Chains A and B, each alone.
Chain A
Amino acid sequence: MAVKETHGVRFEQICKSFGEVKALRPLNLEIKPGEFLTLLGPSGSGKTTLLNIVAGFLDPDDGRLILGGQDVTALPPRARNIGMVFQNYALFPHMSVAENVAYGLKVRGVKGMALQRQVNEALEMVQLGGYGERAIDQLSGGQQQRVALARAMVIEPDLLLMDEPLGALDRQLRKHVQLEIRRLHTKSPRTTIYVTHDQEEALVMSDRVAIMRNGRIVQIGTPGELYEKPDSAYIARFLGESNLLPVKVLGVEKDRIAYSIRGYEGTFSTPAKGQAENTPGEAQLLIRPEALRVSQTDGNSLRVVVEEVVYLGELTATKLRFADGQEGWLRAMKSPAHQPGAVIRVTWAPEDTRLLPAKD
């Protein structure tokens, strides 16, 4: 399959309300050509509404949608050249696998040998060569998902949309298909917008992730940026596990921020560069469970009580209780086995912490 020039997408002040409910507040976003962008958020955050607007199934109340430099806001779905993979696949039940894949090509006037060849290539691509004659209901969920992918990609869309395409698959299969989609994307990069509420999916597959909440994009960045430098406790909690401790920011001195932790004496500090919060006052301190270590010395450490030790195979998770009663986790490849009730000290590297606003 020839890879053709792929288009970028730009949202300009797109907004949408359903009655009183503001599904999307004025939203701006630019997606680069060939980029795999995931919209991540809980249900009701507006991610599916945004996807439906891109597809043309919904009209925005206001704003413009630019696809490859062209304003497509007023175009019907059929004129947008967008491939869509639906949540329940939406395969045509009265057609065979090959007929499903051929549908978009036939509509475009592809016939005969060319049609046959492109359909076969698309099925080979999703590793379903030889399944063309099967009926849709003879396929497993994972196979149906791949037919849906082939059907959307065979038309060489300028933009590929996926609406929670792995939601119906079991965990094992989901991991497999995630990597499969990633592989196809790396092989022929095509601008893709992927909607999910599964954080792991977002981290594995995306070039960038946009986290949505109440009709807004609250933060956008690469999976690494979002995980390591979240802007708020909400995002920290949404992506991965986190220890969030209430702290008081005392002030900025040179290039370090000093703070105290509730329930503990003494002051601590962290590099000021790139922190989300640095104004004196209430704040939250984020330390990821894997950044915590058991310490033998007193410096830069906290006394905690071991509540529970959970064996996770390659990792051991230790549930901790901090001085102010807050619970937290320490995760390590091999942490010394502590008995529940033991008092230990935990420490961290100052640059592995992040100060976040007190409010979500």
Chain B
Amino acid sequence: MTRVETTHAWRGHDQRLGRAAMTFLLFLPALIFLAVWFVWPLGQLILLSFQGEDGAFAAYQEILTSEVFRIVFFNTLKLAVLVTIICTILAYPAAWLLTRVKGFWFSIALYCILVPFWISILVRTFSWMLLLERSGPVNNFLITLGVTDQPLKLLFNDLGVYIGMVHVLLPYAVLPIYSSMLKIDQRLLLASDSLGASGRTTFFKIFLPLTLPGVTAGATFVFLLALGFYITPALLGGPHNLTAAMLIDSFVNERLVWPLAAAASVILLVIVLVVLAVTSRFVSLGSSVVVK
């Protein structure tokens, strides 16, 4: 390639141009689609957020000074953080198990993690409502076991929301962590062992640090998705489990104040972008998703 470029500099130049044009053409349909259906509406939304009746920044001012909005945003963040922590803690051993099992059991374990991806979030949320209701299977089981004599309140509260959201978001944490575990050279663990380290030391000094990029990537995905969650908290939560997404919905559908909804959306978007920018400084999110 270098020889082509030096001896036939012009032709090499043309070839590069041709390749760039080809790349551009291949990207074009997707670019047009995104421009029309994503970038344009997003622009409209941002414009809309500055079109309040009382001036350009009225909507932002109202939101940022509103007590309710502050509480809802704080609750949304708290919910997202806790769901992220729970998901990461549950995902780590699951991902490790995936790297250990082989053949038939690997397929089973992988499908257990992937199948929920293929079922509509609405269906899964309604399933949880059936499972968790007062006389549902979970309560019956607990009563049979003698854990409780009264049916527990598992729905329309924090517990229901956490169960539902962790279930939906768990695969997003498992897959990047699994991928980072696969990438670890087994000889590093042998080297640690031969240098005299206990299993515990090998885990904390070698294995865990080397999987941290996967953990960070997984946690970031879960956190960002959890921030915008709507259906699960709406169906499984109680009146006080109001999230930012639900608030935006009520601005649009109940109060009919579109600029307010637009401004709240933009604020949520900014939070997401900030989180992404910060984490992408530490890990390459793209490379953590691709297995092998």
Contacts and interface: CB of A to CB of B under 8 A. Distances in A.
Nearest to B185: A90
Contacts of B187: 86, 88, 90
Interface string A286-299: 00000000000000
B72 interface: no
Interface in B197-213: 197-198, 201, 205-206, 209-210
A84 B194 contact: yes
Interface in A60-99: 76-84, 86, 88, 90-94
A104 interface: yes
A262 to B, nearest CB: 50
Q: For the side of the interface on A, what is the size category?
A: 20 to 34
A92 B194 contact: no
Interface string B178-189: 000000010110
B196 interface: yes
A155 B185 contact: no
B194 A83 contact: yes
Given A103-B205, A104-B195, A104-B196, A92 B190 contact: no
Nearest to B213: A94
Contacts of B191: 84, 86, 90-92
Given A86-B187, A90-B185, A94-B210, A107 B196 contact: yes
Given A90-B187, A92-B206, A94-B210, A103 B192 contact: yes
B201 A57 contact: no
Nearest to A154: B195
Contact of A81 (B190, B192, B196): B196
A74 to B, nearest CB: 15
B103 to A, nearest CB: 16
A151 interface: yes
B209 A103 contact: no
Given A84-B191, A88-B185, A78 B209 contact: no
A107 B194 contact: no
A55 interface: yes
A97 B161 CA distance: 47
Contacts of B198: 78, 107
A57 B190 contact: yes
Given A84-B191, A103-B205, A78 B210 contact: no
A55 B191 CA distance: 10
Interface string A139-153: 000000000000100
Nearest to A108: B196
Contacts of B193: 56-57, 76-78
A86 to B, nearest CB: 5
A108 B195 CA distance: 9
Contacts of A57: 190, 193-194
Interface centre among B188, B191, B192, B210 (most CB of A within 10 A): B191
Interface in A32-79: 55-57, 76-79
Contacts of A82: 194
A78 B206 contact: no
A80 B185 CA distance: 22
B125 to A, nearest CB: 40
Nearest to A84: B194
Given A88-B185, A93-B210, A155 B190 contact: no
Contacts of B197: 78, 103-104, 107
Interface in A132-190: 151, 155
5 contacts: A78-B196, A79-B196, A103-B192, A103-B205, A104-B197
The 4 closest A-B pairs by CB, nearest first: A104-B195, A90-B187, A90-B191, A77-B193
Interface of B: 185, 187-188, 190-198, 201, 205-206, 209-210
Given A77-B193, A93-B210, A107-B196, 11 more contacts: A57-B190, A78-B196, A78-B197, A83-B194, A86-B187, A90-B190, A90-B191, A92-B191, A103-B195, A103-B197, A155-B195
